[in-house]
Amino acid sequence: MTAHLFSPITLGNLEIPNRIAVAPMCQYSADDGSATDWHLQHWMNLAMSGAGMITVEMTDVERRGRISHGCMGLYSDANEAAARRALDAARRVATPGAKFGVQLAHAGRKASNHRPWEGSGPLKPEEDAWPVISCSPLAYADGWQVPHALTEEEIEQTIGHFVDAAKRAERAGFDFIELHSAHGYLLHQFLSPLSNHRTDRWGGSLENRMRFPIEVARRVAEAVPNLMVGARMSLTDWVDGGFTLEEAIAVANAYRKAGIAYICCSSGGNSPHQSLRTGPGYQVHLAEALKQATGIPVRAVGMIDQPAQADAIVRDGRADMVALGRALLADPRWPWRAAAALGHPFHAAPQLARSAGLMKQWGSAA
Ligand SMILES: Cc1cc2nc3c(=O)[nH]c(=O)nc-3n(C[C@H](O)[C@H](O)[C@H](O)COP(=O)(O)O)c2cc1C
């Protein structure tokens, strides 16, 4: 049986050994943006998972762009050195050919929040909260901060922060960058008419709303020509009057012209009023629609956790790759198990190789 999930793919200038990606997942465990020992073990563990593409969590391009006090950043020399240390260690144990990237982001109006396990919602002033920014002075939800609307000059500075962080990512040794243009964070805030009420050249028409994210993509791609640059988008806000799939198709085409090599297709996150039904593969139809309309390589994500399901998504041409989040937290050897279940060989580090027989037994039982 040919396992399509285990065929290589080239995105931009980067060859990825299989179609399985680790989805970016915040660990809320950084120290003023710097990766800690938690990240060291986490990245080393994921490096051995067998996933071809490892996307490090949302990493913020400036300090005030962090969701929480524990979020990763690439805004200081210390952040860059800490990322380099953890990445070097991960590479030493990685499955041959695995590629590492970092998701560059700015939380905008959703910054200054609690870590999820400390309760949700904005930090209180006595919790070292900080003022947040966005395109328009519109709070995400009741009780959340009203953001400062960026001036023209501040928009230019913010683009500069993305460029600087991209250069830091390259120096830290990453192979690719994923721009976080989803889940209601700053790039998505500009894109969506729910959060962008500007009347200057950065708001109003779709062309104006996409100007900031496209400019970020263009300048980042230009700044790090040796790195592959992709983007994650929310293809719909799931709210009447919000950002739509049709608009997302136009944005994806513009992203491609700006140098973006793939789109990871997610959805939602920009409104507490979103209405969606989740279930196995609930966002795959969005990836498929974007792929059909644009021809851009797409990564599907969201409740993909069964080997046959993942393989079928790629085999049927619905998406070029799949990204797994929670399944890889639950079982960082998921790609081995998938390979065993699909009858494909897999590489286990020699220290772990005696587990391979067991993995095959579990795989054939799956
Ligand atoms: C703990 C956790 C942290 C996450 N952090 C991020 C993030 O940093 N960036 C992002 O784009 N999505 C983030 N997500 C969303 C995941 O990347 C993924 O899209 C989502 O979990 C759905 O995929 P799954 O069903 O395979 O988990 C996070 C999800 C989880 C569970």
Residue 266 CA to ligand 1 centre (angstroms): 10
Express each pLDDT in 190-242 by its tens digit. Answer: 999 999 999 999 999 999 999 999 999 999 999 999 999 999 999 999 999 99
User: Does position 53 have pLDDT exceeding 90, yes or no?
Assistant: yes
Mean pLDDT (whole number) for 179-185: 98
Query: For residue 305, which atom of ligand 1 is closest to its CA?
Result: 26
Residue 300 CA to ligand 1 centre (angstroms): 12
From 185, 255, 262, 282, active-site residue: 185
Our mutation pick for probing the ligand 1 site, out of 25, 110, 306, counting the most ligand atoms within 8 A of Cβ, is: 25
User: Per-residue DSSP letters for 242-253?
Assistant: S--HHHHHHHHH
Output the average pLDDT for the chain: 97
Residue 183 CA to ligand 1 centre (angstroms): 10
User: Does position 160 have pLDDT exceeding 60, yes or no?
Assistant: yes
Which of residues 169 and 3 earns the better pLDDT score? 169
- What is the model's pLDDT at position 356? 85
Q: How confident is the model at residue 302 (pLDDT cuts 50, 70, 90)?
A: very high
**Ligand 1 and 180: CB distance under 6 A:** yes
**Ligand 1 and 325: CB distance under 6 A:** yes
- What is the model's pLDDT at position 228? 98
- What is the model's pLDDT at position 142? 96
Express each pLDDT in 264-281 by its tens digit. Answer: 999 999 999 999 999 999
Using CA of residue 253, residue 259, residue 263, residue 268, what is the dihedral sign? negative
Q: Are 264 and 323 in contact (CB under 8 A)?
A: yes
What phi and psi values does residue 220 have, to the nearest 5 degrees? -70, -45
Q: Are 230 and 9 in contact (CB under 8 A)?
A: no
User: Does position 3 have pLDDT exceeding 80, yes or no?
Assistant: no
Residue 187 CA to ligand 1 centre (angstroms): 17
Exposure letters 308-334 (e unless 16+ CB within 10 A, then b) = eebbebbeeebbbbbbbbebbbeebbb
User: Does position 366 have pLDDT exceeding 70, yes or no?
Assistant: no
Query: For residue 23, which atom of ligand 1 is closest to its CA?
Result: 17
User: Does position 1 have pLDDT exceeding 60, yes or no?
Assistant: no
**Ligand 1 and 183: CB distance under 6 A:** yes
Distance CA 67, CA 74 (A): 14
- What is the model's pLDDT at position 24? 98
279: its two tokens: 């279930």
- What is the model's pLDDT at position 181? 98
**Ligand 1 and 288: CB distance under 6 A:** no
**Ligand 1 and 188: CB distance under 6 A:** no
Q: Tell me the C-alpha to C-alpha distance, in Å, between residue 77 and each of 73, 165, 171, 223, 268.
A: 10, 10, 11, 18, 33
- Return the DSSP state at 14: E
User: Does position 49 have pLDDT exceeding 80, yes or no?
Assistant: yes
Which of residues 359 and 243 earns the better pLDDT score? 243
- What is the model's pLDDT at position 285? 98
- What is the model's pLDDT at position 363? 72
Integer Rg of the chain from CA: 20
**Ligand 1 and 324: CB distance under 6 A:** yes
Distance CA 192, CA 194 (A): 5
Residue 265 CA to ligand 1 centre (angstroms): 12
Note if 185 is an active site residue: yes
Residue 136 CA to ligand 1 centre (angstroms): 26
Pick from 187, 232, 236: nearest CA to 210: 187
- What is the model's pLDDT at position 2? 63
Residue 1 CA to ligand 1 centre (angstroms): 31
User: Does position 48 have pLDDT exceeding 70, yes or no?
Assistant: yes
What secondary structure, in 3-state letters, does 48-114 show? Answer: CCCCCEEEEEEEECCHHHCCCCCCEECCCHHHHHHHHHHHHHHHHHCCCCCEEEEEEECCHHHCCEC
Q: How confident is the model at residue 360 (pLDDT cuts 50, 70, 90)?
A: confident
Percent of the chain at pLDDT > 70 equals 99
User: Does position 78 have pLDDT exceeding 90, yes or no?
Assistant: yes
Distance CA 24, CA 41 (A): 16
Our mutation pick for probing the ligand 1 site, out of 20, 22, 26, counting the most ligand atoms within 8 A of Cβ, is: 26
**Ligand 1 and 21: CB distance under 6 A:** no
What phi and psi values does residue 338 have, to the nearest 5 degrees? -65, -45
Query: For residue 326, which atom of ligand 1 is closest to its CA?
Result: 27
- Return the DSSP state at 16: E
Q: How confident is the model at residue 92 (pLDDT cuts 50, 70, 90)?
A: very high
Distance CA 309, CA 20 (A): 12
Q: Are 56 and 40 in contact (CB under 8 A)?
A: no
**Ligand 1 and 280: CB distance under 6 A:** no
